[in-house]
Amino acid sequence: MTIDQKFNTSIMQMNNVRKRLHEQLRKRQENRSLRTLDLRKTLIDFSSNDYLGLSSNEQLLSSIKEVYAATECSLGATGSRLLTGNSQQHLELESNLAEFFQAPAALLFNSGYTANLALISTVPQRGDTILYDQAIHACIKEGARLSQANYHSFKHNDPGDLHQKLKRCSGNKFVVVESLYSMEGDAPPIREFIALCRQFEAELFIDEAHTTGWAGSEGKGWVIGQQLSQEFLARVYTFGKGLGTHGACIVGSKELIDYLINFARPFIYTTALPPHSVISINCALEYLKNLDSPGMMLKEKINYYLEEAEKIPVERSLNKDSPIQWIMVPGNINALVFSEYLQKKGFDVRPILSPTVPEGKERLRVCIHSFNTKEEILNLVSAISKMP
């Protein structure tokens, strides 16, 4: 009897916990929202976060191999940064990141998820209030839950609602936004938010996960591009998307970074990034620095998509300067059927189902990359427009 068969035949004898797991998975299967781990298909990529194609850039890959071969280092970091896991490579990368992202200091994290978790759960404290955008990423909500502070959401990109919430909240105030929302693909009305934060003496945090490496003229991200970096107590940059590698950093004042080193449990109690990751991130950063305008080609392709997408007869995003676009297809089943249809035509376009988005707001997410050809974009739009 296989493990699966044993599992199924023993449902009758299950205790409450096992029955609950079984029941919750069964419900997901029933409403077609069961998540599974599929292998990546060899389709035209309109889905990944690899906005600049760096994850498979041959020049970058050979420079990583070259540096790795020439560096004396262990395979794993062997411990937390505070014990045996620190190295000259980690420190040099942090110094390069601080310089690149125009901040006094930077601190590496194993992922964007843990960076946000660390920041949001550690800096706001008991009696303080965290206000985050309704569309904020799960790791920021998780950080707020882990913190001792009070927390509330405000309506997506709505300064009026943020104003109301700021008026009512107590203690030190923290406002958390993303530079580009991962599902909506839009940016916050940041100047209005900054004005409100100044008025209410609130601190601002920004997650630049989807703008790292391509936004701004030198790929330094969205707020540097707008010369607003001084307005934020902390900024989070991730390397698994535009930089094609993995990991993340928080940048801010030297004191903020020292504080995180001392108090942020997701930084303290984990094995540090391994040397090969540190080398990869550093090489990706160097690669980026040598490009004239890393986001230029991507922006051209976004503009081309937006021009062509006018032909699409259903509700869709109009996100200017954003590689994240969507086509509204309400209902999990409809979104699944539509994405399967596009996949059969050769396009890797994924559905975003509820509960990831609210019920009725299910959609197809279309990610544009610098390496998508105009022909591919044209064919995709044509397939979407002819959807049965």
Ligand X SMILES: Cc1ncc(COP(=O)(O)O)c(C=O)c1O
Give dist(CA 346, CA 354) in Å, integer.
25
Q: Which of 116, 129, 280, 282 binds ligand X (CB under 6 A)?
A: 116
Based on the shown chain and the rule CB under 6 A, indicate whether residue 113 belongs to the binding site for ligand X: yes
Select from 94, 203, 207, 376 the one that contacts ligand X (CB under 6 A): 207
**Angstrom distance (rounded) from CA 268 to CA 261:** 7
182 binds ligand X (CB under 6 A): yes
Among 238, 325, 332, 339, binds ligand X (CB under 6 A): 238
Interaction of residue 186 with ligand X, rule CB under 6 A = no
- Based on the shown chain and the rule CB under 6 A, indicate whether residue 141 belongs to the binding site for ligand X: no
Position 248 contacts ligand X (CB under 6 A): yes
In this structure, the number of other CB atoms found within 10 A of the CB of residue 147 comes to: 21
Residue 339 near ligand X by CB under 6 A: no
Identify the residue whose tokens are 């040598």: 290
Q: Which of 370, 218, 215 is nearest to 290 (CA)?
A: 218
| Beta pairing class for 350-352 and 363-367 | antiparallel
CA 85 – CA 114 distance, rounded (Å): 17
CB of 295 to ligand X, least distance (A): 18
Query: Taking the CB of residue 62, how many other CB atoms lie within 10 A of it?
Result: 11
When binding is defined by CB under 6 A, the residue of 90, 137, 220, 235 that contacts ligand X is 137
Tokens of 371: 């390496």
Q: Which is nearer to ligand X, 137 or 299 (CB)?
A: 137
Nearer to ligand X, 94 or 308 (CB): 94
Interacting span for ligand X (CB under 6 A) from 13-21, 110-118, 216-224, 352-360: 110-118
Q: How far is the CB of 207 from ligand X (least distance, A)?
A: 5
The stretch near ligand X (CB under 6 A) out of 27-35, 108-116, 119-127, 284-292 is: 108-116
Please report whether residue 178 would count as binding ligand X according to CB under 6 A: yes
CA distance 184 to 325: 7
Instruction: At 278, list the tokens.
Output: 């540190």
Three-point CA angle 69, 70, 74, nearest 5°: 70
Q: Which residues bind ligand X (CB under 6 A)?
A: 111-113, 116, 137, 139, 178, 182, 207, 209-210, 238, 240, 248
